[in-house]
Chain A
């Protein structure tokens, strides 16, 4: 149990990145339209986020500096400011979706209109940010989020044709009904979701919250190696469930409830209940992760006092920033937008934020002033550089593909 709690930060970070409400739906959409032919992208994304989360965790443990502090220090006020605006856009859009997602879940449970639940959901998120100890927060949401393992269980219970599934995954082909551009648009969206910048902001700041030092390097590595592959596995499981049940029937996924169809078919009510617990925990966890990341990035760029380990009065502007973000989320949701559709536009902002986040992380992980003897080895630098190139290519391609495919329609 103690081992499991030690990796709660990694699990929560990965859940917020791979299994937030937007990604849950995107994974099901991808499975129902492309089968497992995009599973390779998730694998590529998992390796990428592992590489950079490992570096950012290492920098935080050795030097005590969180990721947005080093972004500001290396890129200067202008480029770091551009990154701040783009990252905040991604983070707040995701926060809007998560608060909306919690409200939708409460509507399912109570049949009271979800707009009435929105302020309640936001208030619940705020109370956790305001009162609860960081470790308690990550342990509870991380462990309950593990209920999403139910999707992996469902894949086994469905008893699929494993040969056909493996074939889809290992020799990916664009399905006849879909265009090349749409395929690559979804590839970039999945890759961007796996490598969302708020994951490293949250992970490195979480390391500082937990007061990591050089002797916690092993903990940091374990968090990375358990959390992100698990997130990726669950994300592929969701796509697989949809590929097995929804793809043959030609069912178009457009709502969260359709995620539950394959699960109900596989494991009945019990498994559905487990998955719902997991979805609520994951959505709540992602809301906490994005709200905190909003505070972390602003505070670290502007030099404010921050951290949940401090009393709110000792990190006053940090707490006000998170309150403002939640108020904005409630305001946006009151206009009746579809919370899940909102996250589609984060691809645009990710295109700016991704290279500007991971370049300074890679550079500082090589700087002996910060890292001493713990500077990157050659293999890590080779991987980091390859991923930097992939990130730039994906960023350049993202916006044209979005326009051509009308956001994957």
Chain B
């Protein structure tokens, strides 16, 4: 690759106009945070985000031939977890058929954890937890016992 020494940019940075909505940086505020369900039960960690261009009827950009990537509006459509974690550690990319996702419409609140408005058990991606519950822990005596004595 033509990797010359990075040019020392010493020019001033343009001040960023405040956008109208809440501003978040994906890695700083979303990735690797806990995802909790409606009852504050952990669902997964937020391992990656799915981004999709939305067709907003934008005209092809000024660049001859190809439409530039930035011409289309891109939005976050889902939270991803599961196999994408392995590839974030070791590199590579899982086939999209193996992404485990939670649609963005379920997200209720963003803070030090990402809170969903649905129950974790109703989501597809919690199947390993449900499998372990149904096949292992639920079958051991006392597995449904409440340690705090609530009934």
Check whether chain A touches chain B (CB < 8 angstroms): yes
Residues of A participating in the B interface, judged by any CB pair closer than 8 Å: 63-65, 69, 72-73, 76-78, 80-81, 130-134, 299-306, 308-314, 316-317, 319-320, 369-370
Cβ contacts under 8 Å, A313 to chain B: 133, 137-138, 143-144
B146 in the interface (beta carbon within 8 A)? yes
> How many A-B contacts at CB < 8 Å in the complex?
99
**Complex CA–CA separation, A314 to B120 (angstroms):** 11
**Complex CA–CA separation, A15 to B144 (angstroms):** 31
Cβ contacts under 8 Å, A301 to chain B: 45
Q: Are A76 and B147 in contact (CB under 8 A)?
A: no
Binds A, one of B11-19, B28-36, B49-57, B64-72: B28-36
B116 in the interface (beta carbon within 8 A)? no
**Complex CA–CA separation, A131 to B144 (angstroms):** 10
Cβ contacts under 8 Å, B142 to chain A: 130-131, 312
Cβ contacts under 8 Å, A304 to chain B: 42, 129
Interface size on B, residues (CB 8 A): 37
Q: Are A76 and B42 in contact (CB under 8 A)?
A: no
Q: Are B42 and A309 in contact (CB under 8 A)?
A: no
**Complex CA–CA separation, A319 to B139 (angstroms):** 13
Residues of B participating in the A interface, judged by any CB pair closer than 8 Å: 27, 31-35, 41-47, 81, 85, 88-89, 112-113, 120, 128-130, 132-133, 136-138, 140, 142-149
**Complex CA–CA separation, A46 to B31 (angstroms):** 34
**Complex CA–CA separation, A317 to B143 (angstroms):** 12
Q: Are B34 and A65 in contact (CB under 8 A)?
A: yes
**Complex CA–CA separation, A310 to B41 (angstroms):** 10
- Apart from the given pairs A303-B42, A313-B138, A314-B41, 14 other A-B contacts in the complex at a CB distance below 8 Å: A76-B27, A76-B88, A77-B85, A77-B89, A130-B142, A299-B42, A302-B44, A303-B81, A309-B147, A309-B148, A310-B41, A312-B137, A312-B142, A313-B137
Cβ contacts under 8 Å, A316 to chain B: 129-130, 132-133, 136-138
Contact for B34 among A69, A78, A311, CB less than 8 A: A69
Q: Are A312 and B112 in contact (CB under 8 A)?
A: no
Q: Which residue of B lies closest to A130 (CB)?
A: B142
Q: Are A311 and B147 in contact (CB under 8 A)?
A: yes
Sample of 29 A–B contacts (CB below 8 Å)? A64-B113, A65-B34, A65-B112, A69-B33, A69-B34, A69-B113, A72-B32, A73-B33, A76-B31, A77-B85, A78-B88, A131-B142, A300-B34, A302-B85, A303-B35, A303-B43, A305-B41, A305-B129, A312-B143, A312-B144, A313-B137, A313-B143, A314-B41, A317-B129, A319-B137, A320-B132, A320-B136, A320-B137, A369-B112
Closest approach, in angstroms, between the C-beta of B146 and any C-beta of chain A?
5
Closest approach, in angstroms, between the C-beta of B12 and any C-beta of chain A?
28
**Complex CA–CA separation, A310 to B120 (angstroms):** 15
Known contacts A64-B112, A320-B137; A134/B147 CB under 8 A: yes
Closest approach, in angstroms, between the C-beta of A309 and any C-beta of chain B?
6
Contact for A303 among B45, B88, B133, B144, CB less than 8 A: B45
Known contacts A133-B149, A305-B129, A320-B136; A311/B144 CB under 8 A: yes
6 A-B pairs with least C-beta separation: A303-B45, A316-B132, A316-B133, A303-B44, A316-B137, A312-B143
